[in-house]
Amino acid sequence: MHDQATMEMPGQGRQALLVYGLLWSLGLYLRLTVLIVPPLIPQLKAGLGFSSGEVAIATSLPLVTLALGGLATGWMLARLGVKACLLGGLAIMALGSAMRSLPDAFLPFMLATILMGAGIAFMQAAMPVLAKLWAPQRIGRASAVYTNGLLVGELLAAGVTAPLAEAWLGDAWQWAFALWVLPVPLLMLALIVGARALPETGGGSTAARLMLPDVGDGRTWRLVALLGCAAALYFCGNVFLPPILESSDRLTLLAPSLTALNGAQMLSSALLIVWADRLMGRHRPLMVIAALALLTLPAMLWLPGAGVVWAAGVFGFFTSALFIFVLALPAWLVSVERLPRLMSGMLCFGYLLVFAITVVGGWLNDATGIVALAFLPTLAISLVAMAGMPRLLASREKEA
């Protein structure tokens, strides 16, 4: 599909800036439109009459869409090519998000959300392939760059949406869903023009058949466990941090704790832009990162006073590092030709697993009233993932 020697290392100067600039900008929209919903929950309830259950569905539905969309992404990548898949994903994501500005009822809002999630699913699967094609010897750095963009998108959506809607939009707050995607056509144009100066990403083939995940490949399931571990740590940390603080009468620390958690993720991703490639393929650092993320959970649960703020920062640092390595590993493990199928399996089963872990954790919390028990499913999948790390890394294909 591409001569990897063409870009043994991203060229210095303009080409390097172009590669990493495009990767970062594309990463920005992997989660931004998903995280617009939480800051607008009061308006969704008051303005559109959403119930708490409907708000929960609106927040978590893109996760399920990412999982189901993963089934088709391998075929889409083979049929359309990486660049076309990314352009299509950007267009579908932007259209779906903008359409959420129009409905005044739950069902059409959900249909638009599903459309948006499908676009993100195409983008999510294409990004590791693009990183491997444009930076085959710097996969860790390329993954850290677009993950940094992802995290900045999360911070922008979560931190800026509410004041932006209040200051600029007022009663027309629902147009925030469209406002955030206004730059997408410019990003699509930048991808089209910029890609001309970079190594060819390969075209699609009309003869491509639907490629279902290879359920017989042990690497798929070890990556699923790793994605489940990394993403469940992140989601459960954010979802159950408010109950942790509420149970100890420290809700005033919620804002600084969330700021510390998400701010430390930015620091982690920035550091790994420099260090990720040196750590790729070494299972001990990966296991240490996972173990330290787990060890901060008891600290968040039981440290007194403002200690929870520091614990949340450490937790965010290590969960972000783990997530970056999980996204980078498929491209490091297999050849470009095998990568779409491996990614589709990891994303499909991995995000379904994360959804199930979050739901079961919430049920355990509700049933017992003990917040610590909400993390039991996350602990279980983390131990499974850590046990499979050495074998997963040892399975790297020579041609990769």
Average pLDDT, the chain: 87
Q: What pLDDT score was predicted for residue 246? A: 83
Share of the chain above pLDDT 70, in %: 93
Buried b (16+ CB within 10 A) or exposed e, 151-170: bbbbbbbbeebbebbeeeee
How much is the average pLDDT of 80-104?
92
Over residues 351-372, the mean pLDDT reads: 87
Q: Supply the pLDDT for residue 360.
A: 87
**Amino acid 217: pLDDT:** 93
Residues 17-26, mean pLDDT to the nearest whole number: 95
Count H helices, E strands: the chain?
Answer: 14, 0
Mean per-residue pLDDT for 116-140? 91
Give every CB contact of residue 186 below 8 A, 6+ residues apart in sequence.
none
Task: Please check the confidence at residue 190 and state whether its pLDDT lies above 90.
Answer: yes
**Predicted pLDDT at 64:** 82
Output the pLDDT for position 111.
93
Given the structure tokens 């390097």, which residue do they identify?
16
Q: Which of 192-196, 243-247, 305-309 has the lowest mean pLDDT?
A: 243-247
What does the pLDDT read at residue 112? 94
pLDDT single digits (tens) 221-230: 999 999 999 9
Q: Looking at the chain, how many residues does it have?
A: 400
Half-sphere exposure of 294 toward its Cβ, with a 13 Å CA cutoff? Answer: 18
Confidence of residue 204 (pLDDT cuts 50, 70, 90): low
**pLDDT tops 70 at residue 210:** no
Domains of the chain with bracketed CATH: 12-199 (1.20.1250.20), 212-400 (1.20.1250.20)
Give residue-wise pLDDT tens across range 306-328. 999 999 999 999 999 999 999 99
Q: How far apart are CA 277 and CA 141, in angstroms?
A: 6
Residue pLDDT, tens place only, 278-290: 999 888 999 999 9
Determine the Cα–Cα distance for residues 290 and 299; give it in Å rounded to an integer: 15
pLDDT of residue 208: 52
The helix or strand, by DSSP H or E, that contains position 256, with its residue range, turns out to be: helix 254-279
Q: Which of 80-89, 231-240, 379-388 has the highest mean pLDDT?
A: 379-388
Better-scored residue on pLDDT, 112 or 104: 112
Helix (H) or strand (E) run with residue 294 in it = helix 283-302
- The residue-averaged pLDDT of 6-23 equals 73
In this structure, the number of other CB atoms found within 10 A of the CB of residue 190 comes to 16
Nearest to 114 by CA among 163, 162, 57: 57
At 43 the pLDDT is 87
341/326 Cα distance (integer angstroms): 16
Q: Which residue has the higher pLDDT, 79 or 99?
A: 99
